[in-house]
Structure 1
Amino acid sequence: MNRIVAALVLAGAAIAAARADTYGRHERVRVQATPGIEIVGRLDPAAPASLLAARDVKYFNRQGGMWVRFTIDNGGVLAGSRLTLERPLIRDQKRRQRDGSIEHRPLVALALCIGRAPIEAALSLSERSGYTAPLVLGAPEIARLGAVDAAREYTIEPSCGGSAELPLAPAAAERTPSAVPAPRGSRRFSCDGRQYCSQMNSRAEAEFFVAHCGPTQMDGDNDGIPCENDSRW
């Protein structure tokens, strides 16, 4: 019992110490995977959400749920500068661009190490180029870290005790199931690569594909109602 109490006290002290750290505007962040990878993160308390620049983003189906495969590139020239990961899809986010097109940004959870603080972050993946830092940590993640001094840079090296992937915290586990189940009544449908209304057999099937099968061409006005002009139903 004394050992358990001591362990809990030490864990609490470590968390408190990590939260007491003051971080700079930019910090090196380690993605906790096997193997891991270090990338530059911009800490922006004004950003409402967090974003990760990724390459080769692909949706795929695994055991009835939607997953995402993507590659992180830290811009290095040595071996280990790229890492490809697969994660369950939390939500498919849509962003309308200035040219009127729609950008799909899958939301996934990743274990990160910033300074001495291991956190589970919900990150929107974007394939757009030109980001100053490949990772932007917004208000939800910074609230779990501590203070940010925009006048400082690269103050704390990531040191969370190894590069192995961290287990999901309970809250993250609740919002990130290992497989996203299809809604009841739609189990007869499955993601098979179809994208167009002409390939659908019913409105229910079109709604399933838009909700669970990644980017499609069935909701052009982005109002959540697919195939509105299909005269078959």
Structure 2
Amino acid sequence: MRVKAHFLLFCTLLLPAIGTAADNTIYGLNEHVGIPDFNLEVDAKLDTGAQTASLSARDISRFKREGESWVRFYLAVDSAHAYPIERPLARISKIKRRAGDYDPEEEKTYTARPVIELDLCMGKAKRTIEVNLTDRTAFQYPLLIGSDALTRFGALVDPSRTFIAGKPGCLNESDADE
């Protein structure tokens, strides 16, 4: 009788977690991600240790348009993207510098990066997320998706798997799942 009571208690406590997990989607360590605004698909690294998402960009400059802050940049994902892109500036993000990246003369322990909002899709899910712009050409993946965006996607990351969501469904369709 005592074992049965403990088992029932255990099941009762476990049910909310099962319901939450059912609402989430499992993604791999790396996924194909669509960026419909640029009609582009890139491979991304899903990184639960990073908070924000980062997109590879170069020649990044801020400017004003009708009193609002904007940012102009070039995608640094391949040689085909040689035209400038202009987007409203959502905010400036302060990214912690690594120990090897710290410059004592600057006395700053962070790097300021412009942040824009972009629609991203993984598999059939499409979400608007904040993405900071930085040169990621030294990295294998031009897009890093951090925990803030992973939460918006309801993502569970299985680091033992890759590219399990398939091709992004929003590049060829006008209405992907919201």
TM-score using structure 2 length: 0.69
2:52 paired with 1:42: no
For residue 159 of structure 1, the aligned residue among 143, 164, 169 is 169
Within 2, Cα distance between the matches of 1:138 and 1:41? 10
Aligned residues: percent identity? 31
**CA RMSD, aligned part only?**
3.0
3-state SS, counterpart of residue 144 of structure 1: helix
Within 2, Cα distance between the matches of 1:89 and 1:140? 18
* Alpha-carbon shift at residue 118 of structure 1 (Å): 0.3
Superposition pairs of residues 11-90 of structure 1, within 5 angstroms: 20-33=24-37, 35-75=38-78, 80=80, 84-90=84-90
Higher relative contact order (CA 8 A, sep 6+): 2
* Alpha-carbon shift at residue 144 of structure 1 (Å): 2.5
Equivalent position amino acid for 1:157 in 2: K
* Alpha-carbon shift at residue 143 of structure 1 (Å): 1.4
* Alpha-carbon shift at residue 131 of structure 1 (Å): 2.1
Change in Cα spacing, 1:124 to 1:91, as seen in structure 2 (3 Å) is same
* Alpha-carbon shift at residue 138 of structure 1 (Å): 1.0
Superposition pairs of residues 203-218 of structure 1, within 5 angstroms: none
* Alpha-carbon shift at residue 128 of structure 1 (Å): 5.3
* Alpha-carbon shift at residue 165 of structure 1 (Å): 10
* Alpha-carbon shift at residue 44 of structure 1 (Å): 1.3
TM-score using structure 1 length: 0.54
Superposition pairs of residues 61-210 of structure 1, within 5 angstroms: 61-75=64-78, 80=80, 84-95=84-95, 97-100=101-104, 101=106, 103-127=111-135, 129-145=137-153, 146-155=155-164, 156-160=166-170, 162=172
3-state SS, counterpart of residue 159 of structure 2: strand
Greater mean deviation of Cα atoms: 83-92 or 137-146: 83-92
Change in Cα spacing, 1:152 to 1:99, as seen in structure 2 (3 Å) is same
* Alpha-carbon shift at residue 132 of structure 1 (Å): 2.5
* Alpha-carbon shift at residue 93 of structure 1 (Å): 3.1
Within 1, Cα distance between the matches of 2:27 and 2:157? 5
Within 2, Cα distance between the matches of 1:55 and 1:163? 29
* Structure 2: segments with no counterpart, 5+ residues: 1-22
Change in Cα spacing, 1:135 to 1:152, as seen in structure 2 (3 Å) is same
3-state SS, counterpart of residue 169 of structure 2: coil
